[in-house]
A and B are shown apart, each in its own frame.
Chain A
Amino acid sequence: MSSLTPDLFDPTPVPAGQPARLSLVPEASCLPARQGRGELWLCLWLPQLPLDALATGEDAPDAPACVIEGEGSAQRVIAANGAAVRHGIRAGLGLNAALALCPGVRLHMRQPAAEAALLERLARWTTQFTPVVSLEPPRALLAEVRGSLGLFGGAAGLRRRALESLHRRGLYAFAALAPTPRAALWLARAGLDTPVQAPGELPGLAARLPLSCLGWPQATLARFATLGIRNVADLTRLPRDGFARRFGPSLLAELDEAFGRRPQPRRRAVMPERFDDSLELPVETGSIPLVEIALERLLGRLEAFLRTRSAGILGLAVALLHRGQPATRLRLGLARPGGEAGHLQALLHERLGRTLLPAPVVALRLRSTVAVPLELRSGVLPGTAGYDADPEAAARLLEHLRARLGREAVFSVRLAQEHRPERAWQVSEPALGKTGAGPFAEAVAVPVGPARPLWMIAEPQALRERDGLPRHGGRSLTLLSGPERIETGWWDGQDVCRDYYVAAAADGVRLWIYRERRRSGGWWLHGVFG
């Protein structure tokens, strides 16, 4: 490194020990027209996105709220709403400090998935201005808009329109326009709203760009601070070789990208897709079989659509359109992503069989949920590990049962780890294990303990009492075993205090009864042994 790397635009070497005049960014006049001069990038910078992405329906808008990131003592505020800012809370503050400033501030954990989803939705929305939209996660979008300027009344008009539309949706954003995507991003982060149309205007703005808009690591910014460098203009006065030697080539490359001396390829945001197609029937018909034939064609198109994308869907909606009547709608949910036409047809057949048509059908419309990539399954030989009965069978059976009986009518029962008898079992969603095992295969350790009846009575029945002994069916009961004392559940306000006994009725039936130990007292029937 003892030789001097000359500046790109000035081949004259600088004698050592003398102040270098070379700078990172040349005068505007000597900018090379290396990149398409025509590009113009819009950057939308959404500092509040972590807040906006949350479902904060219950938060009053004027109640201070902020989003927290990190764990333990490293918990920091990453976004704060206006009310919180008025209390002095700002991004970067530690959680303790934020709470000291405003003890009542609402705290939310950061939801990266929701943020990504919101950013994608915004990208889709942005396509109204241009097809070239690119994500700059986590909080910015970039769009190339040169071609659209005419449609929206120039750069200022486009910018205003985008911002107004976002603000109407309650989103807080900055927008900036610049000839390179990176410059647009920097300008937006710096909150500079003058549209920059030509690369030559950029160096003139550099002094108004603080280092914080670069998005560089904190440690790097701290190093610049020790050099007395406050803004991008200061930065560009540094010699290229010295800069690269100290801070590495990638930051230099970013500067070059920003000033258009080096292209910055951007990846287009891929839009999620869903199937939406309709088919007009050749004749109006009230016949379900004819409708099904039409449906078969639509499902065939859906299958082809999904096959080319190696994707599946989790649900679809079919609308049977009538003349002058609201459409008849059918919705179908799948237990796992799929899209095979025959299977879907069979499921819809169950539904259509029970559907009454209010009027003849004129057309069909089929819409799917967003297509999700399918995991490819490789075949397993019978008899080898991993082979099981048709893994899809259980899922299919479940779909059939639910299609026929209704969703709520099919459920699992599982044992719950609870001392209170009425809570020792619970209804649950039928679980389909990864191996496709049935819903009852989940192993539950059955505790060793006193007997429990097979039949539990939903509401304990009061028993009459004579001489301190409970009666049932007009006769006294004989206590066979007990007491089993159950005192628990105080934490949810449903504390029980009971002594349970197994008792024999006159007809030999064994009953599960208890004596209430609270002041109300009394004997109660709670179950019957089989």
Chain B
Amino acid sequence: MAYAELHCLSNFTFLRGASRPEELVGRAKELGYAALSITDECSLAGAVRAHVAAREHGLPLILGSEFTLADGLRVVGLATSRTGYGALCRLITRGRRAAPKGAYALTRADLEASLEDCLLLWLPGLQPRHEEGAWLRERFAGRLWLAVELSAGGTDHEHLAGLMALSARLGLPAVASGDVHMHLRGRRALQDTLTAIRHGVPLKDAGLVLAPNGERHLRAITTLGRIYPRELLEETLAVAARCRFSLDELRYEYPEEIVPSGSTPAGHLRRLTEEGIRRRWPEGEPDAVRELVEHELGLIAELGYERYFLTVHDLVDFARGRGILCQGRGSAANSAVCYALGITEVDPSRMSLLFERFISRERNEPPDIDVDFEHERREEVIQYLYAKYGRHRAALTATVITYRPRSAVRDVGKALGLDPLQVDRLARSLQWWDGRELDPSRVRDAGFDPGSPLMRRLLRLVEDLLGFPRHLSQHTGGFVISRGPLEELVPIENAAMPERTVIQWDKDDLDELGLLKVDVLGLGMLTAIRRALALVSARRGAPFGVEDVPPEDPEVYDMICRADTVGVFQIESRAQMAMLPRLRPRHFYDLVIEVAIVRPGPIQGQMVHPFLRRRAGQEPVVYPGAGVRRVLERTLGVPIFQEQVMQLAIVAAGFTPGEADRLRRAMAAWRRKGSLGPFEQRLVEGMRERGYDEGFARQVFQQILGFGEYGFPESHAASFALLVYVSAWLKCHEPAAFCCALLNSQPMGFYAPAQLVRDVRGHGVEVRPVDADRSDWESTLEDDGTGQAVRLGLALVHGLSREGARRLVDARAGRRFESVQALASRAALDRDDLAALSASGALAGLAGHRHRAAWRVTGVEKPLPLMPEPQIAEGLPLLRAPQEGEDIVADYRALGLTLGRHPLALLRGRLAALGWLTASDLWDQPDGTPVCCGGIVVTRQRPGSASGVTFVTVEDETGSINLIVWQSLGDRQRRVLLGARLLGVRGRVQREGDVLHVVARDLEDRSALLGALQARSRDFR
């Protein structure tokens, strides 16, 4: 006997389906089903995952969708062909677009006008209505079946007899289907839980909305044989046989208009590339470059990727025309062709080794280029895309929002009837840096017994629920562009934002199908660099661009080696700063490695120390085998980049390129899907067979797991390294412009304006306070002959509206303000804006100290029509002048920074009495000295890669101190670690070259000394 399941929901029918598409496919294969149909309710969001799994398992997959119309009529539509699939997508789009996010609305009229080339199953329910069947038969005869679904309801015999009679009376063929909601009966509890969550009631009150039993799973064929008449089971095969559509038919539907009429794609790409080569190498390109270009163009032509490169070029060309700084990255971006086309600035002559790996003929994967744009101007690029391709052909991809520990605990806890405050507490106790596995000890911390039956149930369900999709959200910048109407390629639905739509697939899905997608991302550092370059250009009186930054400047590398990198792209984090003096980058490629090495992959694979030792010449550069020498040579025999790991799998473990590619995808998804089991065995055995040491093999595997978290390919690192270099050059040679640009591009990076300002002043740049008579909205450079000074902008003033600031600057033009009342009247500022200005100290020139300014400001009267500047005669009360400490507090509160003394300078006497050393004192201490010190907490970071270490940066009036807090101490003194604003520490000095850390042994909270000082830490970014 054989059977094909035609009606099966996955967990992409949110809160109904209780199994992943992959699980359903795997189980159907195991049970020997002839085919499986995934028919999520008005959705194809799980289709690609099912498709991939079906391809792996060699199981025929049918795509369809279940619909409940407004009048209650229920059908399943199954696609038989590309046309049928397009019709299905259109109907889903129609239903989804007609309803708010998450819902759909369809009527019989919608159904009537659609679903050509689709088969239909009528789901008649427990009380079939003859009229429904007749209506459907009239419209869909010949491709319509009556679905018979029996799930041990007590009257199955009678129900079956009734349906068979109905089928005879209507002349409709009947077919068996399973109304499947899960792959195994064991998911019954999870399915009930999802139902309770969907209805927003606890399980004990859910009552009859729950299924009475767990029959709606993929049942064994012999079981089905006992339930259904043979002919109904055979009919499933007949239906399945007519559904011949596969998602593979969708590959490469690239837009056409990117090529001017009269040209071929190849010809056009060749022309643009040659133009670019002449621009890049006016004196003629090196032979090696020419050779590379020809090789790449040949490969592009062979694989038919011309339109992809042309589309990205078009986008970049648009941005450049508008003066928007952008840069491509991704596997295809670091090609000579992309450099010629201006997609990247990474000069192949600085990067001799990347190109051979750019697109692989064997891997048959689509090219991948992400383009970063200035974050504040990305919207212009998005609007350009919509304008060029139309909204019916360009759309944002979805991001599947999945259950995380917090949300899962919250929802499961509610369903199990826990008190909302309890659930809340349990959910909150899972601070997000605790990792992704739910830890019973956390449950105990929150005051629950993990061994109680209730908690065991909860933990078990939460574990099952983790990673389940909850809803679709819009991706930040992943665009899909299609040749024909997009709604025939993939369903489109409403996003939460009005007027925004998303497709039902995410980036991975598109990647899997080889559809054209371009990531239009926003990058704050590009904004800052563009601003800094503009300031430099203005001062030099001549345009100064990225290409004008001199390469390989030793002064820049000196600065980097000192870890003097506050504000520099990527290498400003604590972990990066700790690495810099050890790695001592001297060349561009060192920066590429620096960017990639402080990542979970190399760290978990324990590759960092071997690399450093080899680089320092303390350990010979050896290769585990001759075969891998070529792969690992540029990184001294130590695999650091994602691409190297892939190549190792091929060269050392005998993977085919296709298998290696599957491994890469599995790596990205292993957390989500669970296991890399078969790959691990295959990799380790493959390497052993080829004579590699098992330890090395295990190490490579560990690294693969790490890459799964944050895969970092060499191609990305190279693009990032360029921005590292440019920003470092600006910091080194144009510190005022760079700081000013960073301040105007906030929020970004690891440091708040306070640290940026402190850092730039430490480098001898004068910073001037916010002043209502002098400041613009943005921070500016003031040049009064003696040098450049940064004038802080009104944007830093907390609570000042942008509109108000604009009016202030406009009203000031040419005429300074004579009084606070004049300022308020001329700029038409409201009380909030005025209060913000006075609190920031920006009125000091007009009104004196802050307290006086506040009195003036609170007394400002609204101008009357006839008296534009009301004069109020009023006595000025005796108001105390603020003390220095009060001013500092007010500065922090209103601006987030002070130009006055550091708060700790005021407290130094008391801190010295406690035995605290200053940050600069620490430099006099030899390695290993026990010390006592402390400061205001600036950042707390717990990198995912650092196995529970928290890096804390504190600062005092002489500089900052980098603390290392090991996990055990952090757990013991959690409250102090997380809560202290003024943190004291006893520990030991650890020095390595130019870097100094204090390894904490004991922490103390001295926040009380700060009084009202509100210093904010940037935690865990």
Contacts of B286 in A (CB 8 A): none
Give B891 Cβ to nearest chain A Cβ, in Å. Answer: 13
Which residue of B154, B446, B859 contacts A484 across the interface (Cβ within 8 Å)? Answer: B154
Contacts of A104 in B (CB 8 A): 445-447
**Residue B874 at the A interface, CB < 8 A?**
yes
Tell whether, in the assembled complex, residue A491 and residue B880 are in contact, meaning their CB atoms are under 8 Å apart. Answer: no
Which residue of A2, A19, A88, A226 contacts B877 across the interface (Cβ within 8 Å)? Answer: A19
Chain A interface residue count, CB cutoff 8 Å, equals 62
Give residues 866-898 of B contacting A (CB, 8 Å): 870-882, 886, 890
Q: How far is the CA of A96 from the CA of B417 in the complex (A)?
A: 22
Give residues 90-108 of A contacting B (CB, 8 Å): 95-97, 99-104, 106-108
Tell whether, in the assembled complex, residue A488 and residue B877 are in contact, meaning their CB atoms are under 8 Å apart. Answer: no
Tell whether, in the assembled complex, residue B839 and residue A246 are in contact, meaning their CB atoms are under 8 Å apart. Answer: no
**Residue B979 at the A interface, CB < 8 A?**
yes
Tell whether, in the assembled complex, residue A2 and residue B153 are in contact, meaning their CB atoms are under 8 Å apart. Answer: no
Which residue of A1, A100, A482 contacts B975 across the interface (Cβ within 8 Å)? Answer: A100
- Nearest A-chain residue to B185, judged by Cβ: A487
Tell whether, in the assembled complex, residue B839 and residue A226 are in contact, meaning their CB atoms are under 8 Å apart. Answer: yes
Give A468 Cβ to nearest chain B Cβ, in Å. Answer: 15
Tell whether, in the assembled complex, residue B859 and residue A227 are in contact, meaning their CB atoms are under 8 Å apart. Answer: no
- Nearest A-chain residue to B861, judged by Cβ: A1
Which residue of A20, A97, A226 contacts B851 across the interface (Cβ within 8 Å)? Answer: A226
Which residue of A2, A14, A492 contacts B204 across the interface (Cβ within 8 Å)? Answer: A492
- Nearest B-chain residue to A487, judged by Cβ: B213
**Residue B208 at the A interface, CB < 8 A?**
yes
**Residue A473 at the B interface, CB < 8 A?**
no
Which residue of A4, A15, A68, A416 contacts B421 across the interface (Cβ within 8 Å)? Answer: A68
Q: How far is the CA of A109 from the CA of B974 in the complex (A)?
A: 26
- Nearest A-chain residue to B876, judged by Cβ: A19
Give A510 Cβ to nearest chain B Cβ, in Å. Answer: 14
Q: How far is the CA of A484 from the CA of B204 in the complex (A)?
A: 21
Which residue of A19, A228, A481, A487 contacts B886 across the interface (Cβ within 8 Å)? Answer: A228
- A 471-506 to B, binary, CB cutoff 8 A, 1 in contact else 0: 000000000011111111011110000011000000
Which residue of A15, A106, A239, A417 contacts B208 across the interface (Cβ within 8 Å)? Answer: A417
Give residues 131-145 of B contacting A (CB, 8 Å): none
Tell whether, in the assembled complex, residue B851 and residue A227 are in contact, meaning their CB atoms are under 8 Å apart. Answer: yes
Contacts of A499 in B (CB 8 A): 152
Interface size on B, as a range, is 35 or more
Give residues 961-993 of B contacting A (CB, 8 Å): 974-975, 978-979
Tell whether, in the assembled complex, residue A481 and residue B155 are in contact, meaning their CB atoms are under 8 Å apart. Answer: yes
**Residue B188 at the A interface, CB < 8 A?**
yes
Tell whether, in the assembled complex, residue B428 and residue A99 are in contact, meaning their CB atoms are under 8 Å apart. Answer: yes
Which residue of B158, B206, B415, B873 contacts A2 across the interface (Cβ within 8 Å)? Answer: B873
**Residue A323 at the B interface, CB < 8 A?**
no
Q: How far is the CA of A417 from the CA of B245 in the complex (A)?
A: 44
**Residue A121 at the B interface, CB < 8 A?**
no
Which residue of B204, B445, B975 contacts A101 across the interface (Cβ within 8 Å)? Answer: B975
Q: How far is the CA of A488 from the CA of B189 in the complex (A)?
A: 8
**Residue B770 at the A interface, CB < 8 A?**
no
Tell whether, in the assembled complex, residue A481 and residue B154 are in contact, meaning their CB atoms are under 8 Å apart. Answer: yes
Q: How far is the CA of A88 from the CA of B214 in the complex (A)?
A: 50
- A 235-260 to B, binary, CB cutoff 8 A, 1 in contact else 0: 00111011001100000000000000
Contacts of A238 in B (CB 8 A): 877
Which residue of A2, A16, A99 contacts B425 across the interface (Cβ within 8 Å)? Answer: A99
Tell whether, in the assembled complex, residue A448 and residue B154 are in contact, meaning their CB atoms are under 8 Å apart. Answer: no
A20, A95, A228 — most chain B CB neighbours (10 Å): A228
Tell whether, in the assembled complex, residue B212 and residue A16 are in contact, meaning their CB atoms are under 8 Å apart. Answer: no
Q: How far is the CA of A271 from the CA of B854 in the complex (A)?
A: 48
Contacts of B207 in A (CB 8 A): 416-419
**Residue A447 at the B interface, CB < 8 A?**
yes
Which residue of B205, B415, B446, B880 contacts A228 across the interface (Cβ within 8 Å)? Answer: B880
Q: How far is the CA of A419 from the CA of B453 in the complex (A)?
A: 22
Contacts of A102 in B (CB 8 A): 975
Give A176 Cβ to nearest chain B Cβ, in Å. Answer: 26
Contacts of B211 in A (CB 8 A): 488
**Residue A87 at the B interface, CB < 8 A?**
yes
- Nearest A-chain residue to B977, judged by Cβ: A100
Give residues 834-875 of B contacting A (CB, 8 Å): 835, 838-839, 850-851, 854-855, 858-859, 861, 870-875
- B 416-431 to A, binary, CB cutoff 8 A, 1 in contact else 0: 1100010011001100
Tell whether, in the assembled complex, residue B879 and residue A486 are in contact, meaning their CB atoms are under 8 Å apart. Answer: no
B425, B446, B874 — most chain A CB neighbours (10 Å): B874
A14, A450, A491 — most chain B CB neighbours (10 Å): A491
Q: Contacts A4-B873, A100-B979 hold; do A481 and B157 have CB atoms under 8 A apart?
A: yes
**Residue A449 at the B interface, CB < 8 A?**
yes
**Residue B203 at the A interface, CB < 8 A?**
yes
**Residue B351 at the A interface, CB < 8 A?**
no
**Residue B349 at the A interface, CB < 8 A?**
no
Tell whether, in the assembled complex, residue B158 and residue A481 are in contact, meaning their CB atoms are under 8 Å apart. Answer: yes
**Residue A508 at the B interface, CB < 8 A?**
no
- Nearest A-chain residue to B446, judged by Cβ: A103
**Residue A407 at the B interface, CB < 8 A?**
no
Tell whether, in the assembled complex, residue A419 and residue B212 are in contact, meaning their CB atoms are under 8 Å apart. Answer: yes
Contacts of A101 in B (CB 8 A): 975, 979
Give B393 Cβ to nearest chain A Cβ, in Å. Answer: 40
Tell whether, in the assembled complex, residue B839 and residue A88 are in contact, meaning their CB atoms are under 8 Å apart. Answer: no
**Residue A196 at the B interface, CB < 8 A?**
no
Tell whether, in the assembled complex, residue B875 and residue A491 are in contact, meaning their CB atoms are under 8 Å apart. Answer: no
Contacts of B873 in A (CB 8 A): 2, 4, 16
**Residue B618 at the A interface, CB < 8 A?**
no
**Residue B192 at the A interface, CB < 8 A?**
yes
Tell whether, in the assembled complex, residue A419 and residue B204 are in contact, meaning their CB atoms are under 8 Å apart. Answer: no
Q: How far is the CA of A345 from the CA of B154 in the complex (A)?
A: 56
**Residue B66 at the A interface, CB < 8 A?**
no
Tell whether, in the assembled complex, residue A447 and residue B880 are in contact, meaning their CB atoms are under 8 Å apart. Answer: no
Contacts of B855 in A (CB 8 A): 227, 242
Contacts of B861 in A (CB 8 A): 1
Tell whether, in the assembled complex, residue A107 and residue B152 are in contact, meaning their CB atoms are under 8 Å apart. Answer: no
Contacts of A97 in B (CB 8 A): 979
Q: Contacts A223-B835, A481-B157 hold; do A18 and B425 have CB atoms under 8 A apart?
A: no
**Residue B127 at the A interface, CB < 8 A?**
yes
- B 178-208 to A, binary, CB cutoff 8 A, 1 in contact else 0: 0000000000110010000000000111111
- Nearest A-chain residue to B420, judged by Cβ: A109
Give B91 Cβ to nearest chain A Cβ, in Å. Answer: 30
Tell whether, in the assembled complex, residue A237 and residue B979 are in contact, meaning their CB atoms are under 8 Å apart. Answer: no
Give B881 Cβ to nearest chain A Cβ, in Å. Answer: 8
Which residue of B154, B204, B854 contacts A491 across the interface (Cβ within 8 Å)? Answer: B204
Contacts of B415 in A (CB 8 A): 491
**Residue A22 at the B interface, CB < 8 A?**
yes
Give A198 Cβ to nearest chain B Cβ, in Å. Answer: 28
- Nearest B-chain residue to A452, judged by Cβ: B154
A20, A97, A488, A500 — most chain B CB neighbours (10 Å): A488
**Residue A272 at the B interface, CB < 8 A?**
no
Tell whether, in the assembled complex, residue A99 and residue B429 are in contact, meaning their CB atoms are under 8 Å apart. Answer: yes
- Nearest B-chain residue to A19, judged by Cβ: B878
Give residues 417-465 of A contacting B (CB, 8 Å): 417-419, 447-451
Tell whether, in the assembled complex, residue A2 and residue B872 are in contact, meaning their CB atoms are under 8 Å apart. Answer: yes
**Residue A17 at the B interface, CB < 8 A?**
yes
Give residues 811-854 of B contacting A (CB, 8 Å): 835, 838-839, 850-851, 854
Given pairs A103-B445, A104-B447, A419-B210, 14 additional interface contacts (CB within 8 A): A100-B978, A106-B447, A107-B421, A108-B421, A226-B835, A239-B877, A242-B859, A417-B209, A418-B208, A419-B207, A419-B212, A447-B208, A485-B152, A485-B154
16 A-B interface contacts by CB (under 8 A) = A1-B861, A16-B873, A16-B874, A87-B975, A95-B424, A99-B428, A103-B425, A103-B446, A103-B447, A227-B858, A228-B886, A417-B209, A419-B210, A481-B155, A485-B153, A490-B192
Per CB-CB distance, the 3 closest pairs between chain A and chain B, nearest first, are A484-B154, A417-B207, A450-B154
Residues on A lying within 8 angstroms of B by beta carbon are 1-2, 4, 14-20, 22, 68, 87-88, 95-97, 99-104, 106-109, 223, 226-228, 234, 237-239, 241-242, 245-246, 416-419, 447-451, 481-488, 490-493, 499-500
